Each structure stands twice: as C-alpha cells, then as structure tokens.
Structure 1
Amino acid sequence: MCGIAGVFQSDRSKIDTEMLRRMNDSLAHRGPDDSGYHIDNGIGLAHRRLSIIDLSTGKQPIYNENKSVVVVFNGEIYNFRELRSDLKKLGHRFRTLTDTEVIVHAWEEWGEKCVKHLRGMFAFALWDLPQETLFLARDRLGIKPLYYSVLQENSFVFASELKAIRLHKAFRPDINPHAVEEYFAYGYVPDPRTIYSGVKKLPPGHTLRVTRNLSDISPTMYWDVPFKICNKYSSENEVAKELLERLREAVNIRLISDVPLGAFLSGGVDSSAIVSLMAELQPDQITTCSIAFEHEEFNESSYSTEVAGQYRTDHHVRQVKVDDFALVNKLAHIYDEPYADSSALPTYRLCEMAREWVTVALSGDGGDENFAGYRDHLMHYNKDRIRRVIPTLFRRFLFGSLGRVYPRLYRAPQYLRARTTFESLALDAVESFARGRMITTPEDRHALFSSRFKSNLQGYDAKEVMCVHAENAPTQHPLSLAQYLDMKVYLPGDILTKVDRASMAHSLEVRVPMLDHLFVEWVSSLPPDLKLRAGISKYILKKAYQSRLSEQILFRPKMGFSIPLSSWLRGPLRNRLKRCVFESRLLETGIFDQETLQTFVLEHLSRRRDHGPLLWALIMFDNFLNVES
C-alpha cells in the first residue's frame, strides 16, 4: 500500500518542492520503501511506496510511453494482468510488471471511464499534460482514502491523509460546525465532509476532474450498489453454491503478492469464511493473527483458535490488557481528525502484531454490510413491519406519547428500557435508523453544545447525512435500505477508516474480499429474506458454510471488537476524563456548555447514567485539538 499527495497551481506557478517533500514525508508510514516525485509547470505529484507487487520496477510515479500521462497510485488493481493483456492488444506498450502501469494506459484508451475497468481498492491522481487535466479517483466502496482542497484562488491540493494537506502553507484550520455535529452524533465525520471547512473527502465510487481554471470542482459518481433483486435461482442450495464460488474467486485474486501474506482471524463468521477459502487455495500454511481480551465478555480468542486448528494455520494471538489505553494520545496523530470508535485501539494492536509476520493481510470486513449482519438491521426491519401496519398519524401520536411518559430507566435491564423503542417507532424509518447508528441522542447533543455554537449550526441535524443517501437509494425495501445506508456512511466513515489508518500506521496492507465490487453487486441482487430470516442474520452465508465451519462459529451471538470503555472511564481513565472536561482546551473552543460537560461526567462516574461513548468522543476531540495546535 502507498501514500500519495500533490499540488496543482492553476496559474502554472512554480511548485514549492520543499513543501511537497514535507507533505510526502508525513505519509512515510504508508510507504516506507521508497519515494518519488513528478514536478512540472504548476503540477507536483508525490508518492510513498510500500512494495507489494513488482518489487524491482514498480517505482512511482509511472508514465505512459511518451511521458504525457503520469500517475501516483495507492492500492491494488487485482485484474491488472487481464487489463494489461487487453491494452497490449490495443497497441499500448508496458515497461514494468506493476499493476499501476495499467492505469495510465487505461486512461489513454478510455479516459474518465477507465475506472469502470478497474477491479480493486484504489485512490489515484493522474496528470494529463496535453489536456492540462488532473484526474482523481477513489474505489467503489471507499477502502482507500483521498482528501482534497482548493486553497486560496489558484491552488488545488490532495493527499491520502489530512496530515499532508495541513502542511500546505495556505491551509487554514477552520473547524466545520456541521462536521462537529456529525462527529458527536456518529463518532466520526462521514464522507464527504472533514473536520475542516476547506477540506473534503472524495466520496467512494467517485472521480474528480480538475482543470486549469479550477472551476466546477465537483465529484462525479461512477458506481453505486445496485440492489436490483434477481430471482433466477431455483433453490437456496444453488445460491449457497454460487456464493462460495464467487467468494472463492474474490479471495483468490487477492492472494497475489510478492511479500508475506496472511489473514486476520477473530473467530467470527466473516473472517473464518475468508480463512477457510485461503486454506483451500494456498498450498502453504496460512499465517493468522488474532487479539484476545482479559475481559471474557469481549474475548473471542477461543473461537479463533478453533478455526485456526481446523484449518491448521500458523496462528498468533496477543492479549490486550485491561489497562491498554496508552494509545489514547497516539490515535489523534493517526486519524488526523476526531475519531471515537474505541475499537481503534485493539485494531491498532492487531495490525501491529500482524506486521511482525506478514506485509499483507486479508480481513472479513464487509460481511455485515453485505449480509445484514448487524443487530441494527434486525431491529430496523422489525420496527418497519410495525410502521407498515399502523397508520402514520396514529403511530406518531401513540408511540410519541408513550416515549414521553415512559421513564428512561437507565440502570434497568435492557428489556425494561422501552422508551428508546417507543421514540424510534414514532419517527420515520430513515430518521429512526440514523438515530440507531448514533452514539448520542439529539437531546444530549442539544444540551452539550453552547448557545453560540447551536446558533452557528442553524438547525442542522446529523440525521441529514442518512436522509441525503436515502433520497438517492436504489431500493426502498427496509432491510436493503438499511444495508445501503451502512455501505454509504458507516462502512467508509468508520470501519474502513479505522482499518486503513491502523494498518498503514504499521505499513501493513489489508485486503477485503467481501468488498470486491462484483461480489457486492451480486450479493445485493439476492432477495432480502436470504440475508435475514426468522431472526437469523447472514442466513445464506451461514448456509453456504455449514459444511466448512462449526455450528458454534456460525450461530453464536455476535460479540464485535470492543473494549470495556465505560469501566475504563470510571477507573484508570477517570483522572484523564476529569482533566479533559475541567482543564482542557475543550472549553476554550466555545463549542460546549461547561455545566452540561460537568453534569455528564458526574452522572457517569456516579453510575446514574452511562455516557461512555460521548465522554470517549470528548477525550478524542480534546486529543485532536492538542495535535492540531
């Protein structure tokens, strides 16, 4: 995997090469093996390389035959051999064996439509000298990141990570109020926004064409999850058989590597499914890596050990200690903007351990989004069944009234805490799903923010992130819509961001077969009842693997990949939390209401309420402010 950065001056002014070099050096963790530059009139491209394929001749930037087209690229193109063959037949000449070179020739042959021919994970920037055009592209699901900004009147800048853009001399660190609202709602800043007003993420499945006048800087979508239901199958067994065949092919093309390759193995269905196919396809013993937790309620290591034993992998397990919060400060440096998914800590440790054994690791990410594996999918579907049989006005009155009168019962057993369910049923389906994906309630955020900051928001609510995508969704089936929203928001904004930064911090490449776009397209075409049936999530995936994995692996309750966050905040992180709220820079920002901050802390420490996710988000925001300064 690699890191890319670049500067485009619309007036053709000289590129500040020292600044570009600093930007590139800030991405050295993404590519420790080499660096390269292309600098010409008003254009500077930079690259950091992690050597995976064609170790000897794959140095970037890479050019076409006459050097009129040049590219810097982060990712892997898995069908590069087929593309290379096709392009050679069309008259193009290659000088390397790397997958990167197919991009410049694909651009020559197909122009902006070249991305439709690429199968893989990628973010790249291509400069076409004759057209004086800079072309950016990001892969369909958002596995690889790409940030961009227009600075001053004549400068366009892009990079794999925000830290590189921050080094541009014209960068201004103005905080975006809408991004703050979204961060404290979801625990991350969803695409295409960033925490900074002047910087955006190129959304997944989009391209961006930049010309000399820097006009019309707006992304163009080239792909979306189709969700066009196909009923051609005569039986479930036929579907299950094809599922295995398609996933086997997606895994197989991701085994191409000139460096050591292994897999993450949590013992869950998705990672176990990938390891099962790797064992079938690889002649040599597979290296697998797993994290164990001291707290049994979070520990899945016995399940990963079972799968490792079944497939005779070279299995490595490392235990995350109960007081392993030394990474709290480091996370802000890794993620560049506020990021509050606490599973970033064990993910970082997993990648750290894996890098000791391999340079490339396959993961099971994407299984929950493809096969409706999250608890929120089941809850959303069940609530929607109620919405469909009760008239809207009566439903809003009935459940809205129940939500207002039913006590909160924060400390009661889960089955007695019905107020949230009543409130959710009073809302429309999209707003209800959005709230289910949030780490805070609108009421808590309203109390958290200062009057001045709420005035700056001008009534903006983070639910709009989901609403915008729902309006453009290719499906209205409640389960498929929930999956679609997760693929557009949660998957790229949280899951893939977490894995990319944690892995790149250790110069580790992570490949995700279940997010192969051809596999995603096919799975989205399956009827929803093959994904969720009678309360069983991932129904057809589990059916396909019944002869390959044990009942315990397939049907045990989902555990996730989390840490004892709330107890940490009441114990070893208690003083850190108090400093954050009572002594830190949070209060200087003018964003927060001081009295509410203190109330939330005291309620959590006294166990009157569990504000763990919100308080962790505050600590991560404070860390971001300290790094940013």
Structure 2
Amino acid sequence: MCGIAGLFHCGTPKPVDPERVRTMCDALAHRGPDGSGVWTEHGVGLGHRRLSIIDLEGSPQPMHSANGRAVIVFNGEIYNYRELRRELEREGARFRTEGDTETILAAWQRWGTGCLDRLDGMFAFALYDRDRRSLFLARDRFGVKPLFTAMLSDGSLAFASELKGLLAHPLMRRQVDPLAIEDYMAWGYVPDHRAIISGVEKLPAGHFRLLEHGRDPAPPRQWWEISFTERARGREADLSVELLHHMRAGVASRMVADVPLGAFLSGGVDSSSVVALMAEADRAPVTTCSIGFDVAEADETAHARAVAAHFGTDHHERVVSPDRMADLDRLVEIFDEPFADASALPTLQVCALAREHVTVALSGDGADEAFAGYRRQMFHHREEQLRGVIPPLLREPVFGALGRVWPKADWAPRAFRAKSTFQSLAEGGAAGYARAVSVLAPEQRDRLFGEGFKRIRGVYRAEQEWIRTMDGAPARSGLDAAQYADLKFWMPGDILTKIDRTSMAVGLEAREPLLDYRLVEFAATLPHRQRVRGRQGKVLLKRTMERYLPDDILYRPKQGFSVPLAQWFRGTLADEARRIVRSERLLQSGWFDQTVLADLAEKHISGRSDNARVLWQLLMLEKSLTRLDLAR
C-alpha cells in the first residue's frame, strides 16, 4: 500500500522538475513510510511513497520494465499476481522481483489496456510507456484506492493519491466549487463526480485514462461494470455452497502478506464472517481489533468479545469517548475534503489500534451494498412494491399531502416517524431512494442555505446524479437499482474513502475480502428472496454463515458503526455546537442563513430536535475550509 503522485504534459512536453514531484510525494509520506522514489523524463514525472507488504526489499518504485520501455508507480495489491506471472512467463516474460508491481508492467506490454480485466485487486496506478509516449492511469473496479487529477496552468496534468498531494504543487488554485457544498450538505461527503476544489477530478472507479503527448487530454473510459440483469437459478442450498466458495476465495486471497495480518471485528455479521473464514484458513489465532463507546446503546464490544472468544482470536479493544475529540483536527487533515461520516472517528481509532499489532487488516466492508443489508434497501424494496400497485396519479396527491402535514418527530419511536416515508412514496423510486440515503433532503437544504448561495447553485440539486445513476443502472428491479447506486456512488465516496484515509494515516493496509469482484458479481444475480425477506436483509449470506456463527450474532438488529453524536452534542460538546453555528468562516461565506444555523443548535441541545448530523457536517465543513484556506 502506497501513495503515488506525478505530472504529465499532454500538449507540448516540457521539463519536469523532480523536486516538485518529490514535494507532492512528501505530502503523502503517511501512506508510504518505508521508502520513496522519483523518476522524471522530458514531459513526465512519477513519484512514489512505499508501505512494504509483499517482497519487502525487492520492489522499489518507480519501477522500470525489464526492457526499459515502461515505468510505473502503483498503489494497491494485485491478489492474483502469482497466477499472472506464471502465464506471462509461459509467453516469454522475465521477472527480476517477487512482487506484484512488475506483473502490471509485463501485463501492460502483453495486453495493453486489456490488462485491467485480468487484474484481481485494489489499485490505482500511473504507467508511462516510453515507446508510445503515453500515460496510463487506472483505478480498480470498486474504487478502493483513490486517484485525484487536475490540469495546471502550464499544460501539465497533475495526479496524486490524495488531494493534499495536488495541493503541494505551487500552480494548484484553491477555489471552492460551490456545487460541492450542495453535494456535501446532501450526502455528508463530496462524491466522486465532484471535488471541493474547482478543477480537481477523481478518476471514477472501474475507469482508466490513456493520455498522450501532443494530444488533448482524453476523458476517462469505463473498463468494468457490475450488472444486476441476470438471475441465478437453483436451490438455496446450492446457491449457499457457491456463495461460501466465493467468500472463502476472497478471504484467502487477501491473507497473502509478508507482514503481520489481522482483522477488524465489530461483532456484526460481516466482520464476524470474515474472522470466521480467516480462522478456518489458518492454524494461528487471528489478531482482531474492536472499538467501543462510552454510551451503552452505541457500544458493540460485548458482541465482538463473544465472537473473539468463539474463534479463540488474539483480541484487542479500545473505547472512544468525547474526550477523544482531539482526533477531530487529525480527521480533517486526513480527509482534506469535508467528510461528515462520524464513524470515521472510531474507524481511525480501530486502525491505530490494529497498527500496534499488524500491518494488514481485513474488514467486512462491501457486504451491505452487495447483499442488501441496509435498512434503507429493505424499506425501498417494500416501497417499490407499493409503487407497483398504486398509480402515480394517486401516489403524489395522497402521499405528498401526508408528507407535507406529518410532523417531523425525531424524538418518536421509529414506527411513528413516517414523514420521510410519505415523502419518498410521493416521488419516483430513484428520487425516493435518494431521499432515504441523504443526510439533508432538498427542502431541508433550502431552509439552511442563504439566498445568495441558492442563486449560485441555480437549478442543480445533489440528487440529480444519484437519480441518473439509478435510472441508468443495468437492473431488473428497484432493489437492483438501489444496490447498484450504493455500489457505484455511496461506497467509493463514503465507505471506501473512510477506510482508505484512516488506515493510510497510520500506515496500515486495509483489505476488503467481501468486495472480491466475483463474489459481488454473484451477489448481483441473487433472486430478491435471497437478499431481502420481510425485515431481514442479507438473507443468503446469513443462512450460509449459520454453520459458523451463533444466531444472536447473525440475527440481532443491525447496529452499524454508529457514533453517539446526539448525546455528545447535548453534553460534553454542547458548547462546540453553539460555537460552530456562530463560526465566522461559515457565516462570512454567505452560504448559510445565520438565523437557521443558530436555531439548529438550540433545538438540538434542548432535545426538541435531533440535529446532530447536520451540526457535525457544519463542524467538519468549517474545519476543512479553514485548514485548506479555500477562497469562495
């Protein structure tokens, strides 16, 4: 696992100052504390920071191919590199190292851009072909590894694993993209189709760019897609056998490392399943790490402890409380862009805990998206069934009216909080699901934003890209389309960004075995009843794991890696809530209505409303803008 950065002149090639590339890489030193390197040639410069995982001494980067034709900087792991090496050797390739980086170089020279279809792994890389005078930028299927790009005023394209790598270049402009504020306040993160800084782009997951000297920059091209258009046939028992095969293969492939390896363990279905299969695959005890909270209803350590005892793991845990808010400034530095998924706070802590014991940790990320484990997916599935029997001309007047008059009762039991359900049913399926996923719905953002910002934003709304993603999904049902959007929009922007930045911040490599692409492709073919049944999600996955895990782990209510923000902002952090809504940085931006901001804090502290998530959003936004020193 590493950090990469570099420069490429798409037009007239110009000299590249190696010190500029080195400075960009130095901003990524946390991603690669074990080594660094820079290579430049007329019109191109590649830089690398290394975290050694495989072939610890033998694979320095930038790496040249044996014939000197190609040079690469690579962030990630190729899990099937040994099989690829054997195939390439049969076709005449010769290797000087034992790692996976050289395999990509040989695969490029043998198959060109088609090499991507053969790579099983998580990766972002930049490969310069000296014969073709081209730069090949590529990102893995799901976007596990990030890649930021920007065109600079001297005609060069800059790229880096994190935004801070780009910002280290003196020609980078620091101006906020106002539409990123709209996106951020809707989702709690800046999605992959946008960046907080105007002119910065993120290479989309499953895409590549092939750039050439003397030509205009080529746009990204998609090289992989997930499809929900097929349906698996067969008995549940047979599907379960196939699922278990894919899960075992995903876990086994990610247990290959030349350094200590362990797992994150929350005590939920997904992480517990990974730990169970790791314990099955290795005689040695699995090293497991868990984070708990000082608020009982948010704490899962008892469940994690039970799973650890069940499999005899070497277990470690730590408790997060409001006095760990000193980590907040660290989070802001880690993410660069504003990022308001509060579970990043315990994720950073569990990564730091894991790094004390291992260098690689396996997580359970990806299963909820692939197997329909989120409550919102189950609700959406039922809503889609209702939409199918109620004519649209009737839905909008009836449910729209109920949604407008029904009170927003944050304090009430979940069954009585029907306002958002009525609003969702009044809309189409994609719009309704976008509402379910968002932190703030369109009408909530409209109340929050000032009139000046609304004029700048114009007709754009954050939901438009989500709706476009669902409407264009290769899917047969509303549930299919929802899962597709979660995999393509939510997961790279939120879930994978969170685990990449927090793990890399402490020099830890995180791997996601439940995102093995063959496993996800199989999950996308499952009939609805093997994904969602009544109020139960991940049906086949849970049935399959019954042979490993007790029912009180598999079938207890889903808790998630939630942070008790509501309690914190009414207690230890109440003064912080009042400070943030009076922040000079936010108020001078002109983006927000000052009166509405002040009201948010007081209603939350008094218990009249639960505004914790938006207060957290505002807090992270203010701190990020201050640190980046961004101009409006």
Partner SS state of residue 169, structure 1 = coil
C-alpha distance in structure 1 between counterparts of 2:342 and 2:149, whole Å = 27
Q: Which residue of 2 aligns with 1:381?
A: 381
**Residues 403 and 570 of structure 1, relative CA distance in 2, 3 Å threshold:** same
Is the contact between residue 122 and residue 140 of structure 2 (CA under 8 Å) also seen in structure 1? Answer: yes
Match of 1:53 in 2: 54
Distance 2:373 2:543 in 1: 14
**Partner residue in 1 for 2:26:** 25
| Mapped pair 1:545 → 2:584 | no
Asked whether the equivalents of residues 294 and 319 of structure 1 are also in contact (C-alpha less than 8 Å), the reply is: yes
Describe how 1:363-442 pairs up with structure 2 within 5 A. Answer: 363-442=363-442
Q: What secondary structure is seen at the aligned counterpart in 1 of 2:581?
A: helix
Change (3 A) 1:171 1:274: same
For residues 503 and 481 of structure 1, what CA distance do their matches in structure 2 show?
Answer: 30
More displaced, 246-255 or 465-474? 465-474
Residue 236 of structure 1 is matched in structure 2 by 236
Deviation at 1:577, TM superposition (A): 2.5
2:475 equivalent to 1:486:
no
Query: More displaced, 587-596 or 403-412?
Result: 403-412
Task: Give runs of aligned pairs for residues 100-499 of structure 1, distance below 5 A.
Answer: 100-152=101-153, 154-233=155-234, 235-499=235-499
Q: CA deviation at 1:216?
A: 4.3
Q: Helix, strand or coil: the match of 1:323?
A: helix
| Residue type at the aligned position of 1:398 | V
Per mean C-alpha deviation after superposition, the further-off stretch among 353-362 and 571-580 is 571-580
Q: For residues 381 and 6 of structure 1, what CA distance do their matches in structure 2 show?
A: 45
Instruction: Indicate yes or no: 2:62 matched with 1:34.
Output: no
RMSD of aligned Cα (Å): 1.3
Aligned to 1:612: 612
User: CA deviation digits over 1:438-461, x for unaligned, max 9?
Assistant: 111212211211211111111111
Secondary structure of 1:289's counterpart equals strand
The alpha-carbon deviation at position 615 of structure 1 amounts to 1.0
Contact 2:471 2:481 in 1 (8 A): no
Question: CA distance change for structure 1 residues 293 and 583 in 2, over 3 Å: closer, same or farther?
Answer: closer
CA–CA distance in structure 2, aligned partners of residues 225 and 410 of structure 1 = 37
Q: Distance in 2 between matches of 1:579 and 1:294?
A: 24
Asked if 1 retains the 8 angstrom alpha-carbon contact of 2:264 and 2:363, the reply is: yes
Q: Distance in 1 between matches of 2:154 and 2:383?
A: 50
Counterpart CA distance in 2 for 1:528 and 1:200 is 36
Report deviation, 1:470: 1.6
The DSSP-based 3-state class of the residue aligned with 1:35 is strand
Please give the secondary structure, in 2, of the residue aligned with 1:168. Answer: coil
Distance in 1 between residues matched to 2:106 and 2:324, nearest whole Å: 48
Which whole-Å CA distance do the structure 2 matches of 1:383 and 1:583 have between them? 40
TM-score, structure 1 normalization: 0.98
User: Retained in 2: the 8 A contact 1:584–1:622?
Assistant: no
The answer to whether 1:512 aligns with 2:512 is: yes
Distance 1:439 1:250 in 2: 32
* CA offsets 1:567-591 (integer angstroms, 9 cap, x no match): 2122222222322221431112222
CA–CA distance in 2 between the matches of 1:476 and 1:470?
11
Stretches of structure 1 lacking an aligned partner (at least 5 in a row): none
Please say if residues 13 and 214 of structure 2, whose CA atoms lie closer than 8 Å, have aligned partners that are also in contact.
no
Aligned counterpart, 2:574: 574
- SS of corresponding position for 1:37: strand
Question: Residue 327 of structure 1: SS of its match in structure 2?
Answer: helix
Write the deviation string for residues 62-101 of structure 1: whole angstroms up to 9, x where unpaired.
1112211011000000000011111111111111011011
- In the alignment, structure 1 residue 66 sits paired with structure 2 residue 67: yes
2:73 partner SS: strand
The Cα of 1:298 is off from its aligned counterpart by 0.9
Determine what percentage of the aligned residue pairs are the same residue: 47
Q: Distance in 2 between matches of 1:404 and 1:261?
A: 52
**Structure 2 contact 430–471 (Cα < 8 Å) conserved:** no
| Cα-to-partner distance string for 1:488-541 (whole Å, 9 max, x where unaligned) | 111111111000000000000011111011111111111121011132211101
For residues 301 and 567 of structure 2, the distance between their equivalents in structure 1, rounded to whole angstroms, comes to 21
**1:228/1:407 CA distance change after superposition, 3 Å:** closer
1:243 counterpart letter in structure 2: L
Asked if the contact 1:136–1:207 (Cα under 8 Å) also holds between the matched residues in 2, the reply is: yes
What's the offset of the Cα at 1:552? Answer: 0.3
Counterpart residue type for residue 48 of structure 1 = R
Alpha-carbon separation, structure 2, partners of 1:554 and 1:92 = 48
Q: Is there any run of 5+ residues in structure 2 with no aligned partner, and where?
A: none
Which amino acid letter does the alignment assign opposite residue 95 of structure 2?
F
CA distance in 1, matches of 2:212, 2:313: 51
Once the two structures are overlaid, the 10-residue window that deviates more, 425-434 or 170-179, is 170-179
Give the Cα–Cα distance (whole angstroms) in 1 for the partners of residues 538 and 72 of structure 2. Answer: 40
Counterpart AA for 1:392: P
Between 16-25 and 46-55, report the one with greater CA deviation.
Answer: 16-25
Matched, 1:44 2:68: no
**Deviation at 1:322?**
4.3
> How far, CA to CA, are the matches of 2:297 and 2:369 in structure 1?
24
Give the corresponding residue for 1:79. 80
Task: Work out the CA distance in 2 between the residues paired with 1:319 and 1:214.
Answer: 54
Structure 1 residues 20-41: Cα deviation after superposition (integer angstroms, max 9, x where no partner) = 1111011111000000111110
Which AA in structure 2 matches 1:268? G
